Structure formats: C-alpha cells, structure tokens
Structure 1
C-alpha cells in the first residue's frame, strides 16, 4: 500500500483551448474537473495501476467535499482531515501546442490544532504502508520543518518515505534521510544554489543532495529525461513522446511509477519514465492506465551523457 500526504490539495479545472489570447474571449474545446495536488495525483496514478492507496489530505468547504467525492469514485481511500478553510480551486489552460498556463490559489491557513491532527492522521494511517509519499507545497500556517517531522515519524514506524517538495521544506527534511526525493531541474538548481546547464551538472547536484541526507534522488529534467542517483550508482533515462497534450501531474505519475516498481534501481527508473511519458499524452491531469504505458519507448543507461546540454538550462 502506498500512503500519500497532500498538505495543500486542490480542486483542479483544466480547459483545453486552441490558443490563449490575453484580453479576448477564449472558447474551450474540452474541460475536466479533477481532484488535485501532487500527492493526490500520485494516489490517482497508483489506483489506475490497480494498486491500493490511501490519501491523507486536509479538506474544507464545498471544494473539499467534491475532492473527496471524486477520489472515492476512482476507488481511492481517503483519510480526510477536516479544516475550517475551503480547499483551494486551481485553473489550468492547456493550449493545442502543448503550452500550459496554470493559476494556483494559495489555499487555506491551517490552525495549530489542524496541523497536529494532520500529523496524527498520517502516523495512524501509516500502519501497513510500504511507502509514504509526501508531496507538494505546504499550506499557510505550516512551518518548513513540517515535512522533516513526517520523515522522522515515518522512519520511527519503519516505513519508507518519498518526498516531492521544494525550497526550505526540502532542505529542512534532508537531514532526516528521506528514502527518495524527487526534485525537478529548477528545484534541484535551487537546492544547490547554482545553475544547471548539462546532464552532468544535474547528476552532480543530485549527488550533493545525497550528501545532504537523501538516500536516493530521482531528478526530473523535463523533456531531457530523468536521473536516478542512489547508493548503487547513477542512471539516466529518456522516453519517447509522440504528442504532448498536458504535463499536469506528469511528475506525480512518474513518482507513482517509481514506487510501484519498488522504488529502487534502473527498473524503477524505467517505470517512472514510462508513467511520466504516458501522462503527458493524456488530457488535463488525467492519470495513465497500464494500457497507456509503452515500455518500448523507454531507454535507461548507466552511461551518463555528462556533456549533453539541457534543452532548457536552469539558471
């Protein structure tokens, strides 16, 4: 079982539009309403693969009730933490050429009592979990050290933990030695405090996160592929993509694929790549089913192309 923790979930509305013209009336050609948040997306991808998952998340107001209803309809067990403020609503505009514009609301501010209830719920639900995946930004009210406390409690319960966050919340949690962290290229550059221009730069930065405490680093380099750096070595992988429809939730689907495949080694990296590639070819924030995966499109190697320039260098 994979337990996910999403401290700042959302109700996501995605509109497909031919193009986005500021100041004009834009008519959507498609619309989706999905439960959102990085951990929620991980649960949705795990459930789509036919695996059991439990989603812990604070929910409030009518948007929160709809998030719980949508997750239940997808066969996902929800461990809700009632909060006074309404769950945030986000909007994504997906253009036909693959460009995505997102408008993310800040979300409610959690009281001290709500924060403690969230921690206790995670600890209570962790019994029997193979992995805890803590994902996304922290809502207002939570200290950057909150994820570090979750890591400590998870390890005390004997559960492996994956962390997908950024900024102070990521660096604060590294000392607790999370089993895997999943930064994208921008988050990786921020964590080491310098730009990344090549795959080699990214691999070195991932190694530095391991020196700071992470046991493994699964780094997403966008269209350039993914890196996995752990105690056994470094692997680099790419996946062929025919048509990009939306990259919403692609990284979350990738993390789900990694954990589903055991969360370790090149086989898990290949699964992450297959899931991420399938996700960008689905509309909105839809998660791919096993039938959407194309393992033949994935290449994983231990021969790292250190001098290969990133298509989108991170400065």
Structure 2
C-alpha cells in the first residue's frame, strides 16, 4: 500500500465516560479529531499515514504518546498553547458533551513550520489529504492555498475534506478530489443545494477550479459523485444502531489509502463508503477492520445516473 500525508492541524484529547456491562464507570482517553480519524482508517486499510499538526501544553503531553501508539508517523509542530480536548459522557448511550477546551490560533512561525512540514512530507508520499482546523477559524484559507499550491505544483495528488472558507483557499491552490457534505456545500455557494439542478450548479462551482472528482455526502440519502462527465450515486448499507462520529473521516481515510495504493476513484469510493459504515458499527473514532470493510464493500452500490 502507499503513503499518505494528512494535514490534521488540531488533534484532540478525547476523555469519554462509558458504562461497563457490570454497571461501573469507565474513563477512556483517546486521540481524536478529523486528521486522527482519517489517519487511523487509512492505516487500517494498509497505508502508511504521516499526520501533520500541532501539539502543546499539558494536554499535548498526554496526547503525544497516544498519537505515537497509532499506526501512523507523526510530524507534530510544538505549539506554545495547549492542544484541544473534550469530555463526553456516553453512559446513557448518547454522546452528552460535558466540556470543550479549544486551541487558540497558532502564531506566524508555528504556521510556517506546519506548512513546511506538510509540504515536505507530501512531496515524499505523493498524496495529501487536507482536513479542517478545530476550531474552524484557527487557520485561514491562505494557509490551505499555500499548502495545496506548493504540493500540487510538484505533482502531488491533493484530496480536500474541508468546509469554507478553507475549501476556497485549497481550490485556489489546486485540488484533485473534494469530499464535502451537503450543508458544507450550501455554505460554499451561500445558497440551497437540495434540488438536483442546485446541486449540479454548486458542484460546477467546485469543478471550475480543475477538480476531477467531487463527492457530496447527504446524510441518510445516497452520496452524489461527480467524476469526469459522469454522475453517480453511492449507497452504503445503513444501520440503526451505531455512532456517526468519524464516519465521514473514515470514508476519506479509506479512499486515500486505496488511491495511494494505485486504485481508481470508483474502487476508492466504494471501499470508503464501506469503511464509513463499519466505523458506524464501532464506537466511531475512525475504527474498523480491513476484512470487514472489504466484505461490506460488496454491498455498496455505485450507480451511474448521468453521462
């Protein structure tokens, strides 16, 4: 399998309270956040992920060894401020938030260090996944434009799983595949995307930047896929009991792993949809067994609807 660089600027320390089957409380510590979940699923599918982001403060001191335990390489920039963290209570069976502590925006030198580390890694791996910062305004669109432009100019395939305005910046730099949900797409075009013509027009706004493939996830509805002159629907098996946390990120991680291994976008998205479904059946967090994912992929339907 291939190598994948993942820009996941703000890994988080997850503290989760669970109920043990005997009724006792359990407290779990995990690395979390979009980039972490993309990296974990990419590794589950056999890729070698390189995770680029920030670590700092008391939470960073705890988070660092947890990331080291993941099946990925880390390129972390030391931050002058604490890494973000959250506490959730799942004893009721739902995710009840108790507390969130987020990182402030990085300084100029910290941004330059992250850009350099990410671009240097991307030029080695030849495939780059761009993930959002957390909170969203912690990195501006100009940072994503710089990274995408420098990587794309050297032939690196760039995948974006971003919301606006970060997506706008990345598109100016150069992106090959965009995965976005329907409400993020509505934010990108600042208008409705519920009707077929509205969706197609919004995707056209993305593809005018030279994007080859656009994937729109739509909750319970099949995903809409636009590739070349063709339009497809992507339908994964749906389940009633599970956790949505990290499903979209699992899809992106698996998609990146298959593309890095030389698969085409149809195979990559089919495996990606299966990975999202398997993640749902787990506790979320970008987890899933490769054999289960490939077996479930036989139940994923990718159907051409136009073109």
Fold conserved (TM > 0.5)?
Answer: yes
Structure 1: segments with no counterpart, 5+ residues: 18-26, 305-315
TM-aligned CA deviation for residue 203 of structure 1: 4.2
Once the two structures are superposed, residues 148-183 of structure 1 have per-residue CA deviations (whole angstroms, 9 ceiling, x without a partner) of 111001112321111111121112221223111211
Q: 1:71 to 1:10 in 2, by over 3 A?
A: same
Say yes or no: does 1:3 pair with 2:5: yes
For the residue of structure 2 that corresponds to 1:175, the secondary structure is helix
Q: Which moved more, 1:77-86 or 1:134-143?
A: 134-143
Match of 1:242 among 239, 242, 249: 239
Q: 1:218 to 1:93 in 2, by over 3 A?
A: farther
TM-score by length of 1: 0.84
Could you tell me which residue of structure 1 aligns to residue 280 of structure 2? 280
User: What is the distance in 2 between the residues matched to 1:60 and 1:74?
Assistant: 18
Structure 2: segments with no counterpart, 5+ residues: none
Once the two structures are superposed, residues 54-107 of structure 1 have per-residue CA deviations (whole angstroms, 9 ceiling, x without a partner) of 11111102322332212221221111111110100023455867x645565431
Task: Report the structure, 1 or 2, having the larger helix content.
Answer: 2
Once the two structures are superposed, residues 219-253 of structure 1 have per-residue CA deviations (whole angstroms, 9 ceiling, x without a partner) of 21122122221224221111113343211111111
Contact 2:147/2:173 (<8 A) preserved: no
Once the two structures are superposed, residues 101-147 of structure 1 have per-residue CA deviations (whole angstroms, 9 ceiling, x without a partner) of 55654313211111111111112222321311110136555332110
Could you tell me which residue of structure 2 aligns to residue 23 of structure 1? none
Contact 2:133/2:139 (<8 A) preserved: no
Could you tell me which residue of structure 2 aligns to residue 310 of structure 1? none
After superposition, residues 56-205 of structure 1 pair within 5 angstroms as: 56-94=52-90, 100=95, 104-137=100-133, 142-198=139-195, 201-205=198-202
TM-aligned CA deviation for residue 269 of structure 1: 1.8
Contact 1:68/1:78 (<8 A) preserved: no
Contact 1:94/1:284 (<8 A) preserved: no
For the residue of structure 1 that corresponds to 2:123, the secondary structure is coil
TM-aligned CA deviation for residue 204 of structure 1: 4.0
TM-aligned CA deviation for residue 31 of structure 1: 4.9
User: What is the distance in 1 between the residues matched to 2:7 and 2:112?
Assistant: 14
Match of 1:47 among 43, 48, 71: 43
User: What is the distance in 2 between the residues matched to 1:288 and 1:157?
Assistant: 33
Contact 2:158/2:174 (<8 A) preserved: no
For the residue of structure 1 that corresponds to 2:239, the secondary structure is coil
User: What is the distance in 1 between the residues matched to 2:176 and 2:91?
Assistant: 37
Match of 1:222 among 213, 219, 233: 219
User: What is the distance in 2 between the residues matched to 1:15 and 1:228?
Assistant: 38
Say yes or no: does 1:292 pair with 2:261: no
Once the two structures are superposed, residues 185-237 of structure 1 have per-residue CA deviations (whole angstroms, 9 ceiling, x without a partner) of 11011111222324664344223311244332122112212222122422111
* Pairs aligned (count): 295
